[in-house]
Structure 1
Amino acid sequence: MNLESKWKEQNVLVTGGASFIGSHLVDKLVNLGSKVTVVDDLSSGTLENLSESKDNITFIKHDLEYTTKEDLKKIFKDQNYVFHLAAVHGGRGFITTHPADVCSNASIDHHVFQACSESNVQNISFASTACVYPTELQEKIGSDYKLKESDSNPKNLDGYMSADIEYGWGKLNSEIQLLSFVKQYGLKANVLRFVTAYGPRENETHAIIAWVYKALEKMDPYVIWGDGKQERDFTYVSDIVDGCILAAQKITDGTPINLGTGRRYTVIDVVKMICKVMDWSPSKFDFDMSKPTGALSRALDNSEAKRLLGWEPQISLEVGLKKTIDWYVKSHNPKGSVNPDLLLEHNTKVAT
């Protein structure tokens, strides 16, 4: 993969840059020599996430949902590239229990797309999700089918499209909205579809960190949402970041690109891998069938990412889990019990 020297001295805006994936992207861009501006309302992100780059960036605290054209004009002025990751988001528990909140993304996205168009940004990268895919393609445990970009094609408005709950429909509609700016105003854009990203700085509403958190607290019985047979494609954050940067270099027509490993793991198997790394196991596992679980079997076909970007994942799940667990254990002190609110609300205040 070639992350070109073109990023040196480029003005780059990262919305949602204080959050999990955004902060890692900021660090990478700073290392590549970019002049980075971060805009974030800190609703889920933290300034601590930006500690590695804080002295080399411009930070703007701003709510992109409740904003004005004048504010947007100032923020987006002279930006060469925009990575748009700002969103109301979270893990399966959060997006399932906050259906109205996640619909706010339509406003956030429109404001960003319009600001990019009016500011003559060279390319905008939009963070989308595997939730844009039809759930009927993901209903069979043991399936070897990998979701293709064509399974949910925002360029074919006469074709069939479906998505996974309100969050997925919102992201799919925003992909369509972004393409409307490409068609009407000539905006240069690319779309990245993430799947179960994980790594340091992620919060406990997301699967991997929730499972690490439960192990750190020695939850026993250890409660797993669903029957544990659900299958997921886990992508480490540094691979996501590299894919985003490559897409910004090579895709300008709004084409969506899958960023996933294409490999499935069951929930119970990953939980057991985490317990092994942490050298602890519960006496038993309990399976809570009342909790949201999402699609039964999900993995992304990454052949287009390989063909168009020269991208493929570099970090195995085993290595990624070790890195993530090392970070979490070093940055969190066990309290002796699991706070259930922490698994559903990304702004829950707890001491670490």
Structure 2
Amino acid sequence: MDVAGKKILIAGGAGFIGTNLAIALAGRGARLRLTTHQKAPQVEIDGAETVQADLRLPEHCARVVEGMDYVFLCAAHTSGAAVIRATPLVHVTPNVLINTLMLEAAHRAKVAKFCFISSGAAYPPTDDRPVSEGEMFDGDPHSVYYAAGWMKRYAEILCRTYAEKIAEPMATIVIRPSNVYGPYDKFDFAVSHVTAALVRRVIERHRPLEVWGTGGDVRDLIYVDDFIEGLLAAFAVDEPFLALNLCSGKGYSVRQILKQILYVDGYDDADVRYDPSRPSTIPVRLMDNSAARRLVGFEARTSLADGLRRTIAWYKAHHVGDRGRPARS
């Protein structure tokens, strides 16, 4: 799909996915509008329009989608494992409002195509077997993600409804990412996910270096540049509705991830201490990437070592107080 000259809204343009997507689309000649809420943009993009908006309000949603060709909904209320366990409903109300109001506003504005970023956490548990797209509604999400998972599922149902079940449909695509990491991620310990939190602890030379859980939890990690490449390839598919996993298809334990970060950043004498009493989420979450390979020829190309090396280099270049040593080449 040629996006040059197309008017594209990125809702959540100051966030991790939104920022990286904006950089990629700007490089392809798109005319961008980015929404922000409480967070300022992380980058300045020539020609991009920035609009402050509260997407829980219908009038704000209607204003930001006006005149747009495509909409990417990257805005979401997110947090880490401790917050999810302590307050399971924290993601429900704000995200239900954002998702439903943005879909309605985009449809009324006659947007040609709408992209919703869902989550692999919405899938039912499949133990150590990678989960495929058709299994989304085969059972409840894991108990830790029950509320947030059903919130994502409801938005997916709405996307399909707008694409297939109404008189004047709007094409939609649902992207289900695995654990995306890389530059512009959230590195605040209160809200960061495991990879970003470990990167920061290693760079700051925490001693002891505390890791929540046993270190045995397994996740599929995908570097953000690969994810954005897959996202844009999937968005170009000429189908009224599509739901697709975007993942690496490889699982890494938290111990393996930390070991690689320690090596890349040269923290050879780290005093690592695992704390099983601290909250983690689910033991194993793996995703099947065969549909993305078949439909759009997508396969993640960045190795874990290379992705972590780039992430560490970016963090050191953009955050004050780096006490780490140069990353290994």
Q: Give the structure-2-normalised TM-score.
A: 0.90
Structure 2: gaps of 5 or more residues: 324-329
Question: 1:216 pairs with 203, 208, 223, which one?
Answer: 203
Aligned position for 2:156: 175
Residues 253-287 of structure 1 show CA distances to partners (whole Å, capped at 9, x for unaligned) of 33210000110111011101111111113443211
Contact 1:190–1:251 (Cα < 8 Å) also in 2: no
Deviation at 1:77, TM superposition (A): 1.6
Q: 2:115 matched to 1:132?
A: no
Rounded Cα–Cα distance in structure 1 between residues aligned with 2:139 and 2:217 = 26
Aligned position for 1:8: 4
Aligned position for 2:33: 37
1:247-286 map, 5 Å: 247-286=234-273
Deviation at 1:166, TM superposition (A): 2.1
Contact 1:13–1:76 (Cα < 8 Å) also in 2: yes
Aligned residue identity for 1:58: E
Question: 2:80 pairs with 91, 94, 109, which one?
Answer: 91
Aligned residue identity for 1:149: E
Q: Secondary structure at the match of 1:74?
A: helix
Aligned residue identity for 2:141: S
Residues 186-241 of structure 1 show CA distances to partners (whole Å, capped at 9, x for unaligned) of 12100000111000111121211100111122112211111101111101111111
Aligned position for 1:148: 132
Aligned residue identity for 2:245: N
Rounded Cα–Cα distance in structure 1 between residues aligned with 2:290 and 2:104 = 31
Change (3 A) 1:284 1:294: same
Aligned residue identity for 1:189: T
Q: 2:41 matched to 1:58?
A: no
Question: 2:40 pairs with 19, 42, 46, which one?
Answer: 46
Aligned position for 2:141: 162
Q: Which range moved further: 286-295 or 31-40?
A: 286-295
Aligned position for 2:226: 239
Aligned position for 2:113: 123
Deviation at 1:95, TM superposition (A): 3.4
Task: Give me the CA root mean square deviation.
Answer: 1.8
Aligned residue identity for 2:159: L
Aligned length: 314
Deviation at 1:98, TM superposition (A): 4.2
Q: Secondary structure at the match of 1:56?
A: coil
Aligned position for 1:312: 299
Aligned position for 2:214: 227
Deviation at 1:251, TM superposition (A): 5.0
Q: 2:312 matched to 1:325?
A: yes
Aligned residue identity for 2:249: G
Contact 1:223–1:287 (Cα < 8 Å) also in 2: yes
Change (3 A) 1:307 1:106: same
Aligned position for 1:190: 173
Rounded Cα–Cα distance in structure 1 between residues aligned with 2:278 and 2:36 = 30
Contact 1:125–1:247 (Cα < 8 Å) also in 2: no
Rounded Cα–Cα distance in structure 2 between residues aligned with 1:25 and 1:177 = 23
Aligned position for 1:25: 21
Aligned residue identity for 2:315: Y
Aligned residue identity for 2:178: V
Rounded Cα–Cα distance in structure 1 between residues aligned with 2:238 and 2:156 = 14
Rounded Cα–Cα distance in structure 2 between residues aligned with 1:332 and 1:73 = 36
Aligned residue identity for 2:43: L
Contact 1:219–1:282 (Cα < 8 Å) also in 2: no
Aligned residue identity for 1:113: L
Contact 1:221–1:282 (Cα < 8 Å) also in 2: no
Contact 2:76–2:95 (Cα < 8 Å) also in 1: yes
Aligned position for 1:82: 71
Aligned residue identity for 1:101: V
- % identical equivalent positions: 27
Residues 295-334 of structure 1 show CA distances to partners (whole Å, capped at 9, x for unaligned) of 2112211111111122111211111000000011222233
